[in-house]
Amino acid sequence: MLFLVGNSTNNIKLCFPIYILQEFKLLTFPWILLVIIELILYLLTLFFAVKCAFIIMKVRAFHKNLSSLALVLILQYAEPLIAKVISWPYETGFWTLKGSPNISFSNTTIRQWWTEKETEMIQITDFSLNFYFFISGFLKLHYAISMSNILLVVAIERSLACYFLNDYEKNHDSG
């Protein structure tokens, strides 16, 4: 969704990976079951991610640099779970966006993919009124960008390790 935050003369455009807001049907029978299953799958995946992190910490199969990098990336999976929990009340309509000059937003489902017209963007007058909503969007974006750069980060770490240290893999105690 594209948000126009601010007044008509001084505003910023924000794009967040949230595509539907205030979908009241998500609180009815078949949809609430899917949401609960999704939450259970998130928690199950987080459990295995934490378990994998503990294994990496205990086994020490890789150098400290690569192990700590893997730990950070694995534990970063908590970000989309936290973001989903924060944004879910907005997605279901349990909480509504505040500070919008368009009063009809409070009781209608908002769907949006992409637009370049400022008149079609969702206008919010004050960022602080919907602070948690924007934090959840930031967490989703941060996770997506971080995960899309995993191969690059690991390749840079491996390249620097090979370049600067000749005995990098043999010496597990080096800092």
pLDDT tens column, 32-91: 898 889 889 988 998 998 898 888 888 877 778 888 888 888 888 889 889 988 988 888
Look-up of token digits 């750069």:
149
Q: Which residues of 110-135 are buried (b: 16+ CB within 10 A; e: fewer)?
A: beeeeeeeeeebbbbeeeeebeebbe
pLDDT of residue 107: 66
Residue 147 corresponds to which tokens in the numbers above? 């995960």
Average pLDDT over residues 18-27: 74
**pLDDT tens sequence across 83-114:** 988 988 888 878 877 776 665 566 677 767 77
